[in-house]
């Protein structure tokens, strides 16, 4: 077991974009950061890049493919063998697809990666999180959750990857809210919060065709901000003493694409607790994991 007196954080998808900048911010705050990444070679390069910017950073790189539930379980087992606690879990990693793809279990890949993998990871590690108001579990949602629904009868959303992405980001927000409700009901003091990064040209778009990406950028480029700015809502939720469990933060500028961090607007569907509890039950079934708090 790795001995460290530092606070310990996991950042999923830490090797690029918002996850990389989040790792920088968490390391600067004095945490030992576990960079949980699908591609170890890219993760090791990113680790060197973090150290170039934050020479004092304490880092570990561990393999994690959130779309593969066996990989999630292997990561959790390996983490438990190295560490005895987890102070902050940042469920950052995400994919954006415009084609219909499934994981090895036949589940729509964005739903599996963006939501179910993080649901399973959190379930497997939450007992290591100290019951302290400074302990945080942060879910990264998106402006794309607005107008989305959870299509319980067809998680592929009619094979439409764009709609399925919105569904997965709604699931992230619903999960953060429901987790917080269950923590409060159990008397736990650790906080579950959600954020969105606004608009940023990050590693999320590597699956988008260049001509399509150029068209997207032309429409919203004036609103975009850097990955460093896009990471600020996450860092605020993870580190600030002025947050409450269940809060949802993001940029407050035009169309919430950039600007100062503040309380973000939600789609009204997030107030539907029945949908959130149904999603929780479905997530337990699809991951084969009972989530106990």
Does residue 70 or residue 255 have the better pLDDT?
Answer: 70
Over 90: is that where the pLDDT of 26 sits?
yes
Of the pLDDT bands very low, low, confident and very high (cuts 50, 70, 90), residue 2 is: low
Domain boundaries, the chain: 8-287
pLDDT tens column, 222-270:
457 588 899 999 999 999 999 999 999 999 988 989 999 999 999 999 9
Output the CA–CA distances (angstroms, integers) from residue 255 to 185, 234, 250, in the order listed.
Answer: 34, 18, 11
pLDDT score of 199: 83
- Predicted TM-score (pTM) of the model is 0.92
pLDDT tens column, 94-139:
999 988 899 999 999 999 999 999 999 999 999 999 999 999 999 9
Of 165, 236, 248, 249, the active-site residue reads 165
pLDDT score of 4: 67
Q: What superfamily would CATH give domain 8-287?
A: NAD(P)-binding Rossmann-like Domain (3.40.50.720)
pLDDT score of 165: 96
CB 258 within 8 A of CB 199: yes
- Does the annotation count 249 as an active-site position? no
Q: 37: which 2 tokens?
A: 């990444």
| DSSP structure string for 123-179 | HHHGGGS-SSTT-EEEEE--GGGTT----TT-TTTTT-HHHHHHHHHHHHHHHHHHH
pLDDT score of 224: 73
pLDDT score of 245: 97
pLDDT score of 8: 98
CB 87 within 8 A of CB 130: yes
Output the CA–CA distances (angstroms, integers) from residue 143 to 103, 110, 134, 198, 229, in the order listed.
Answer: 25, 16, 26, 7, 16
What's the whole-number average pLDDT of the chain?
92
CB 192 within 8 A of CB 183: yes
- Tell me phi and psi for residue 270, to 5 degrees: -70, -15
pLDDT score of 80: 98
Q: At what angle do helices 17-28 and 232-239 cross, to 10 degrees?
A: 40
Mean pLDDT of 9-16: 98
181, with CB counted inside 10 A (0-12, 13-18, 19+), is middle
């Amino acid at each position: 077991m790795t001995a460290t007196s530092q606070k310990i954080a996991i950042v999923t998808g830490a090797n690029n974009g918002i996850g990389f900048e989040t790792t920088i911010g968490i390391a600067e705050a004095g945490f030992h950061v576990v960079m949980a990444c699908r591609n170890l070679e890219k993760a090791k390069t990113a680790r060197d890049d973090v150290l170039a910017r934050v020479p004092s950073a304490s880092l570990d790189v561990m393999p994690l493919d959130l779309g593969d539930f066996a990989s999630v379980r292997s990561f959790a087992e390996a983490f438990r063998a190295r560490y005895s606690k987890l102070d902050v879990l940042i469920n950052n990693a995400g994919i954006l697809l415009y084609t219909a793809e499934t994981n090895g279990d036949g589940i729509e890949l964005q739903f599996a990666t963006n939501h179910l993998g993080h649901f399973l990871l959190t379930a497997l590690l939450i007992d290591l999180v100290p019951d302290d108001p400074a302990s945080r579990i942060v879910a990264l949602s998106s402006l794309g959750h607005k107008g989305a629904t959870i299509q319980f009868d067809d998680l592929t959303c009619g094979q439409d990857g764009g709609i399925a992405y919105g569904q997965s980001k709604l699931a992230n927000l619903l999960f953060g809210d429901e987790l917080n409700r269950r923590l409060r009901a159990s008397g736990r003091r650790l906080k579950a919060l959600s954020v969105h990064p606004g608009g940023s040209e990050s590693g999320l778009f590597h699956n988008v065709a260049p001509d399509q990406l150029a068209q997207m950028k032309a429409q919203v480029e004036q609103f975009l901000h850097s990955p460093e700015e896009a990471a600020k809502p996450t860092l605020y939720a993870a580190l600030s003493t002025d947050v409450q469990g269940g809060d949802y933060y993001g940029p407050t500028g035009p169309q919430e694409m950039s600007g100062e961090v503040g309380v973000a607007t939600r789609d009204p569907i997030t107030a539907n607790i029945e949908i959130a509890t149904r999603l929780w039950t479905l997530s337990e079934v699809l991951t084969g994991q009972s989530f106990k708090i």
